[in-house]
């Protein structure tokens, strides 16, 4: 029997999370907490942030974050912290059509989408996201709240710092480090380390402003 879970945020990414939870069969979304919405999201009733206490009192013990992050993780981090403060656990959410190696490590609150691959020895940090059809190959490390966008690929032993973004369709060659808060632009080919907070774009990628 599926366990009840609440989803913080009903954006487009929230719908992706709801679909992944349902497809996996272990969790059943029972509420979406989003003050900007009303009614329901894909059949899940919507409440505001104040509903968290009532849900906990009713025995709902887990939450997932339904807000993505494209270069700014502030809201995702805030909702993650709010869920923990409300007393929810934040299990990793993995779509059943993702491939995750048995030796990979998934931290609380991370998300691995449909078609993604997480290789042997890879470590996915708290709140981090491996989006649709992305590749995080063997022994890579994703820092907290880092995001590997759809179709992006990290070769082996790449380290991505906290809050960094690897844009859609980008590729990072093996053994590199992408610093905390850095942004790798969509379609970029990264062949050298990217410093913390920097922007890297193009083929091969060069540092921009």
* Mean pLDDT, rounded, for 102-111: 98
Same fold, 3-85 and 92-200: no
Q: pTM for this structure?
A: 0.95
d(C-alpha 158, C-alpha 193), whole Å: 10
* Mean pLDDT, rounded, for 72-100: 96
Is CATH 3.40.50.20 correct for 3-85?
yes
Which of the four CATH numbers 2.160.10.10, 3.10.310.10, 3.40.50.450, 1.10.1740.10 does domain 92-200 have?
2.160.10.10
Residue 48 has pLDDT above 90, yes or no: no
Task: Output the CA–CA distances (angstroms, integers) from residue 36 to 20, 46, 131, in the order listed.
Answer: 22, 10, 24
Average pLDDT of every residue of the chain: 95
Whether the CA torsion 59, 74, 93, 22 is positive or negative: it is positive
* Mean pLDDT, rounded, for 67-82: 91
> Which stretches within the chain are classed as H helix?
12-24, 52-57, 74-85
Residue 192 has pLDDT above 90, yes or no: yes
* In the chain, domain spans: 3-85, 92-200
Q: What is the pLDDT of residue 200?
A: 97
């Amino acid at each position: 029997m599926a366990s009840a879970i609440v989803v913080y945020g009903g954006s487009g990414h929230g719908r992706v999370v709801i679909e992944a939870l349902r497809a996996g069969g272990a969790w059943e979304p029972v509420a979406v907490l989003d003050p900007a919405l009303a009614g329901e999201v894909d059949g899940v009733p919507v409440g505001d942030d104040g509903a968290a206490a009532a849900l906990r009192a009713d025995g709902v013990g887990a939450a997932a974050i339904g807000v993505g992050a494209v270069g700014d993780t502030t809201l995702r981090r805030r909702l993650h912290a709010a869920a923990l403060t409300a007393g929810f656990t934040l299990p990793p959410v993995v779509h059943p059509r993702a491939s995750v190696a048995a030796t990979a490590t998934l931290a609380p609150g991370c998300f691995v989408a449909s078609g993604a691959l997480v290789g042997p020895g890879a470590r996915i940090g708290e709140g981090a996201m491996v989006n649709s059809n992305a590749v995080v190959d063997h022994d890579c490390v994703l820092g907290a709240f880092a995001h590997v966008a759809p179709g992006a690929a990290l070769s082996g032993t790449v380290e991505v710092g906290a809050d960094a973004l690897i844009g859609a369709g980008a590729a990072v060659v093996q053994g590199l480090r992408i610093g905390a808060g850095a942004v790798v632009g969509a379609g970029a080919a990264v062949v050298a380390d990217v410093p913390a907070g920097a922007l890297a774009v193009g083929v091969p990628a060069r540092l921009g402003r």
